[in-house]
């Protein structure tokens, strides 16, 4: 067998594998393998020996030099599904190999096998040093992860009632972090019922999550699930990073990419998922270089993968609770205390925490949140409102993008906006909304009440300003895009100056002799939506992230000189 062979037994479904299998599983030429030799070391495996098993820490990319290796995907309650057989010139691995995260597939030697093992650190060095070859390998790693997401391969099994708030929460968390999963409806799936009985799970403990390691979690937090899956590891408390970036939205990821690509040691943290609010955008059409538009998730996933390629250490989800700053002029490091009681140190800190969603001032809102009230419109939410009428509150670009996206799923979309759309939304979106026959716009209007049973919404009430009576509107799903407030509560007590609205002040407005994106505290910088005076656009946030790196270099040179 001379080439990698994709196996299709009519069982494993992956549209990307079917359409781009040659790019997903390329075979390297002998001269290409020779070029990789300086980055790895030789390893041998006997026939029948596992090279990788689901849940085991990833040890890097393995290029097959001789023999054959079968890669397969585990399926719940059945035998493994073969994916590919790698022969000479094939290579094992997907995006997990960039950071040493757990394997999502099993790989077993079909004969005696010799491979070239390239560790995660050496793999990242290779992707940069061997640009053309690195591009081919990086594309394959990305496509393999996409294929696993499409088929649910190697991920956890979530079991619980359909449309349960915690089921949706866990699905959304994994989806936004680009991790495969399988879902079983506890009300209709016989296998799910068997597992619930086997583990004596009570209704109050649903949903449960069966991790690839075999661990069973009962309605876990996102942090507990992430640690069970190996998505986030222990941070070395003795290590001092050049820069710690708090927030992994467009600004934070841009700062991470540019800082790491210029040789800085970077730690990036986010309390939920990479991408921030931009990651939840259905389609971004005014970002430079994407004339046909791109989904926020796709754009942010590219940035996230790019950051990993350059060696950024990702801690997601890890929430920063407190920031301690050194005394001005005394040197020392900034210290971040995390929600899991870990502490980490950095010479510089970038605040990229963006903004948190503004909530509708209507009684009983919290009762419906997570089930019928949503703050973003991803494919997960779109499936909930298929062929049903929905309402959307907001008049900005995010609201317009969401309305157009949802109109492809819902039977009718009603936009409720306090001001004329022309005052707050880009013209191209207004024109697109006008062209959709199933979108209705109510301007100068507001929601006055929510009606439902339990956590399920049945209808809303709305009225125009000046009207006495409200009008009922029968909808089961309500989407809120009414702006955001700065996510700066965690900075209390740090001495970081905020403007009257709570955004971080930077530059000369913050203190004399400060760098353009530096805060009132030396060595702390703010970028993106959290910065006072920033333009609330994805491109502007990414620009901030790129620009701040030159500020960081200047700061590091200053403290380097000060400490000799």
- Alpha carbon 514 to its chain centroid, in Å, reads 32
pLDDT of the residue at 510: 96
Using pLDDT thresholds of 50, 70 and 90, give the confidence band for residue 281. Answer: confident
Average pLDDT, the chain: 92
More confident residue, 14 or 307: 307
Work out the average pLDDT over 263-286: 90
User: Between the CA of residue 389 and those of 429, 432, 440, 473, 474, what are the distances in Å?
Assistant: 20, 19, 11, 9, 8
What lies within 8 Å, CB to CB, of 188 at 6+ separation is 162
Q: Quote the pLDDT of residue 409.
A: 96
Q: What pLDDT digit, counting tens, does each position of 245-261 carry?
A: 999 999 999 999 999 99
Whether 355 shows a pLDDT value over 70: the answer reads yes
pLDDT in tens, 8-24: 433 455 788 888 889 99
> Helix %, strand %, coil % for the chain, to 5?
35, 25, 40
Pairing of strands 240-246, 266-269: parallel
Q: Report CA-CA distances (Å) from 36 to 39, 98, 134.
A: 6, 16, 10
- What pLDDT sits at residue 538? 92
Angle at which helix 120-129 crosses helix 296-309, to 10 degrees, equals 100
pLDDT-derived band at 376, boundaries 50, 70, 90 = confident
Spatial CB neighbours of 344, under 8 Å, sequence gap ≥ 6: 235, 236, 237, 239, 241, 244, 267, 335, 336, 338
Give the contacts of 21 (CB within 8 A, at least 6 positions apart): 6
Maximum distance among all Cα pairs of the chain, rounded to whole angstroms: 81
* String of DSSP letters for 272-288: S-TTGGGGG-S-B-SST
pLDDT at 12: 54
Question: Would you say residue 93 has pLDDT above 80?
Answer: yes
Mean pLDDT of 422-446: 96
Q: Which two tokens stand for residue 477?
A: 């799903």
What is the pLDDT confidence band of residue 282, given thresholds at 50, 70 and 90?
confident
Average pLDDT over residues 182-200: 93
pLDDT classification of 314: cutoffs 50, 70, 90: very high
Residue from 232, 446, 434, 432 nearest 344 by CA:
232
pLDDT > 90: percent of the chain: 79
Q: What is the pLDDT of residue 466?
A: 85
Structure tokens that stand for 521 in this block: 């505290």
Q: Going by DSSP bridges, is the β-strand pair 389-393/477-480 parallel, antiparallel, or unpaired?
A: parallel
Handedness of CA 36, 267, 24, 56 (dihedral sign): positive
Distances (CA, A) of 355 to 175, 530, 534: 21, 6, 12
Query: Does residue 457 have a pLDDT over 80?
Result: yes
- 1-5, 116-120, 241-245, 336-340: segment of lowest average pLDDT: 1-5
Per-residue pLDDT of 488-516, as tens digits, reads 999 999 999 999 999 999 999 999 999 99
CA Rg value for the chain: 25
């Amino acid at each position: 067998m001379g080439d990698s062979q994709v196996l299709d037994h009519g069982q494993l479904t992956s549209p990307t594998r079917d359409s781009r299998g040659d790019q997903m599983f390329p075979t390297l030429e002998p001269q290409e393998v020779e070029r990789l030799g300086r980055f790895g070391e030789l390893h041998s495996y006997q026939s029948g020996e596992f090279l990788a098993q689901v849940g085991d820490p990833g040890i890097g990319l393995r290029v097959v030099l001789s023999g054959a290796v079968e890669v397969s995907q585990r399926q719940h309650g059945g035998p493994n599904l073969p994916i590919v057989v790698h022969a000479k010139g094939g290579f094992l691995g997907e995006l997990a190999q960039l950071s040493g995260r757990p394997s999502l597939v099993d790989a077993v030697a079909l004969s005696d096998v010799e491979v070239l093992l390239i560790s995660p650190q050496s793999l990242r060095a290779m992707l940069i040093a061997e640009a053309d070859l690195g591009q081919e390998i990086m594309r394959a790693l990305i496509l393999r992860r996409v294929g696993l997401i499409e088929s649910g391969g190697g991920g956890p099994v979530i079991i619980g009632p359909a449309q349960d708030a915690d089921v949706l929460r866990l699905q959304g968390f994994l989806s936004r972090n680009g991790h495969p999963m399988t879902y079983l409806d506890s009300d209709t799936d016989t296998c799910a019922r068997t597992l619930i009985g086997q583990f004596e799970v009570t209704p109050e403990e649903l949903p449960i999550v069966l991790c690839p390691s075999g661990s069973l979690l009962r309605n876990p937090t996102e942090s507990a699930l992430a640690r069970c899956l190996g998505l986030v590891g222990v941070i070395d408390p003795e290590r001092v990073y050049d820069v710690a970036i708090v927030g992994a939205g467009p600004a934070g990821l841009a700062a991470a990419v540019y800082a790491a690509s210029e040789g800085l040691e970077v730690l990036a943290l986010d309390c939920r998922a990479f991408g921030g609010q931009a990651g939840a955008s259905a389609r971004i059409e005014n970002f430079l270089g994407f004339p046909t538009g791109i989904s926020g998730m796709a754009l942010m996933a590219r940035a996230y993968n790019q950051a990993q390629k350059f060696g950024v250490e990702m801690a997601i989800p890890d929430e920063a609770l407190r920031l301690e700053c050194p005394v001005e002029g005394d040197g020392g490091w900034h210290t971040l205390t995390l929600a899991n009681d870990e502490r980490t140190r950095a010479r510089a800190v970038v605040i990229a925490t963006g903004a948190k969603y503004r909530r509708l001032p209507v009684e009983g809102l919290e009762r419906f949140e997570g089930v019928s009230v949503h703050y973003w419109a991803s494919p997960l939410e779109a499936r909930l409102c298929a062929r049903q009428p929905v309402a959307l509150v907001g008049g900005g670009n995010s609201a317009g993008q969401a309305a157009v996206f949802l109109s492809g799923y819902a039977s009718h979309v009603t936009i409720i906006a306090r001001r004329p759309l022309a005052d707050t939304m880009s013209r191209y979106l207004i024109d697109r909304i006008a062209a959709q026959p199933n979108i209705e716009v109510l301007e100068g209007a507001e929601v006055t009440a929510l009606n439902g049973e339990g956590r399920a919404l049945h209808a809303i009430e709305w009225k125009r300003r000046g009207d006495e009576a409200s009008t009922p509107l029968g909808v089961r799903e309500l989407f809120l895009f009414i702006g955001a407030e700065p996510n700066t509560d965690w900075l209390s007590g740090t001495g970081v100056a905020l403007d009257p609205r709570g955004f971080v002040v930077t530059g000369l407005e913050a203190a004399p002799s400060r760098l353009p994106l530096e805060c009132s505290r030396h060595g702390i910088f703010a970028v993106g939506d959290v910065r006072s005076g920033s333009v609330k656009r994805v491109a502007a946030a990414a620009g901030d992230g790129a620009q701040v790196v030159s500020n960081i270099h200047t700061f590091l040179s200053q403290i380097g000189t000060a400490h000799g």
